[in-house]
Chains A and B, each alone.
Chain A
Amino acid sequence: MSLRVLVCCGSGGVGKTTASAALAMQAALTGQRVAVLTIDPAKRLADSLGIGPLSNTPQRVPLDQLGIETSGHLDALMLDMKATWDGVVRRFGGSPEAQQRILNNRYYGLASTRLAGSHEYMAMQRLYELYESGDYDLILLDTPPTRHAMEFLSAPQRLNGLFDEGVMHWLSLPRSKRGFAALERGSEVVVSVLKRLIGAGTMEEIAEFFDAMQGMWGGFQERSSAVEALLASNETRFVLVTTPAPAARKEAQEFADLLAETKRPFGGFVVNRVVPAPTDKARVSSADLPERPNSVPQDTWEAASLTLLGAAQRQQVLSDGEAQAMAELREQAQGSVPLWPVPELEADVHDLRSLAVLAGHLAPAIEALKQA
């Protein structure tokens, strides 16, 4: 079975979105049909791909502008939560009337996109749609920023838990009068307390929503099992993006442990913004400096000279910390997990060309992941 899905995870600020785009671009440049799906509301991916605002439908990235011949192509999309939710309701919501009942519910409109785990769940749904379409050899998912790694992996269970019969039973009981007498009394108390807190009208709307969702439950659950199976299969690899910074590293390591515990396929670490150590040749002294040309004012010359003489030292300070960080990651990974370092780039990734430079650095990663 070949690699079909790459899931990029990592803590905030490590360059996860950009790394996902670069991995996708590299795969496309090696001839694959690739899609990259981002969740990020800040639209950073569109920034670096140099295309307009991203949407729920795939947009072709103009790779031909790079002047590189490839039979592959790259599409980019951004998750539209509302549209994906509506799609799920249309798919599993039963009769057209039943679907409309959910779609018209006021609580659904306000809450569906804000339910805990909903972002992650819908990202997985959209990923699965792309997978099923057969339009792509490889799909990259740029996961939403989470406070904890577990938030992403446990999202389907959390959302499924919500539509579990228990909740519906308690909430919709006064309307449909099901269940045991004891439970019924219990839930009447629950409902009356909740009514007091959030108002009877709102309570009614929420109960109606849960009641309507009940019909979708089976389809919902079946679908999430399929997604779960895909994410645990040999067609998927999780890639953890980190930087040498201690906090990011710690979080990546925790995520790696969690992947191992939950038996999900781990591809490797992308270590972003690694600063190389200065070479001895870069250590220069004032004796190496030329005479100040007359065209350069004294103060400018002195400032520039000091900048030059201190360059190696500054680089050393940066690279010392980073070398140690890489060594620690290596040790923790115990040689069994690949580490793909990406040097700190000379400019921000802000357009296709600078993204292609990053993609080049990630070529070994794509190569290794395809073989695995």
Chain B
Amino acid sequence: MDKRVLFVTGKGGVGKSTLAASVALAAALRGKRVLLVETHGSKRLPGVFGKRALDYRVQHLTSNLHHLSVTSSKALEEYIVGVIKIRALYKLVFRNRVMGPFMDAVPGLHELIQLGKVMDLERASERGRPEWDLIVVDAPATGHGLSMLNAPASMMELTRTGPFYENAKLVQSIWGDPKRTGLLLVTLPEAMPVNETLDLYARLGDYQKQLALCVLNEVHTAPATSAQWAHASAHFETPALQAAKKLADRHMGRVHRQEQARERLSALPCPQAELPFLGHRDLNLADITQLAQQIEGAL
């Protein structure tokens, strides 16, 4: 996969941050210069690598891997000062109690500005070569993620002219280029999360062609397939095995639902990768490292 920007999204609680970090780490271990971006001021990942989280500053995490936490207020300031050129004027106009709510009222502005920041980073170069080989965005969950993707279009529809319009158009043209950017959807192997993923795909519109990879996370394993279990398990109906069979039935029910989820997801026109269930744990480096090795092949 030779995309320059990967946008990782999915329903809440499916392991987006862990996966985004794993993908970034895998690419960094392969020698790429990688920037891992968190949006909306979120900065959970530096701590996992034993670093103190910084505001809106690129920070080294490990070998080729760097991190940036983007906040819309900082990105907006950077952008507007760039347009009107006078920092004092920016302060006069935007640093007062009414401007915050007003800027909140411009639809898609916060999302657009953050997306724009990522696109600036994509184009940044150092001595004639791109500063970053790969940028991985740990994007907000489904609904918020979708409004982030649609932000340039919202802004263009609203303004129809002016610097914000031109900026949105530029962001759209870079972001909408499937050669440069790809979408990575994360989901769990259960009916509801899969429904949501298929639903999200349907709502992607023009971005559908950007879908690069779909990851089934927290996959449970068993020595038998559900078909093998169905074939043999009736012979375990003895009093001594009753309790164990009940547990195994329950687990194989899970495996069966996984098989159905896998089948339904295969309708999406992109490669599929699977990652194992590692236990209910908080975001941690051991898991990220292990998953980085496992996702490596799919990248």
Contact = CB atoms under 8 A, between A and B. Distances in A.
A47 to B, nearest CB: 6
A350 to B, nearest CB: 6
A308 B236 contact: yes
Contacts of A42: 11, 142-143, 195-196, 199
Nearest to A315: B247
A311 B244 contact: yes
B191 A350 contact: yes
Contacts of B280: 243-246, 321-322, 325
B164 A198 contact: yes
Interface stretch (A6-14, A217-225, A327-335): A6-14
Interface residues of A, number: 83
Given A13-B13, A296-B235, A303-B223, A314 B251 contact: yes
Interface stretch (B53-61, B177-185, B226-234): B226-234
A304 interface: yes
A164 B98 contact: yes
B190 interface: yes
B117 interface: no
Contact of A190 (B99, B235, B236): B99
Contacts of B225: 303
A164 B101 CA distance: 9
Contact-residue bracket for chain B? 35 or more
Given A47-B192, A199-B162, A282 B104 contact: no
A167 B192 contact: no
A197 B108 CA distance: 15
B209 interface: no
A247 B102 contact: no
Interface of A: 11-14, 18, 41-44, 47, 107, 110-111, 114-116, 145, 147, 158, 161-162, 164, 166-167, 169-171, 186, 189-190, 193-194, 196-199, 201-202, 206, 243-248, 250, 278-279, 281-284, 288-290, 293, 296, 299-312, 314-315, 317-318, 321-322, 325, 346-350
Interface of B: 11-14, 40, 42, 80, 83-84, 89, 92-93, 97-99, 101-102, 104-108, 140-144, 147, 154, 157-165, 188, 190-193, 195-196, 199, 222-225, 228-229, 231-233, 235-236, 238, 240-248, 250-253, 257, 279-283
27 contacts: A12-B11, A13-B13, A42-B143, A44-B196, A111-B105, A114-B107, A115-B105, A147-B40, A147-B42, A147-B144, A162-B105, A166-B98, A167-B98, A196-B162, A206-B106, A282-B246, A282-B247, A284-B244, A288-B240, A290-B236, A303-B223, A303-B232, A304-B231, A305-B232, A315-B247, A321-B279, A350-B192
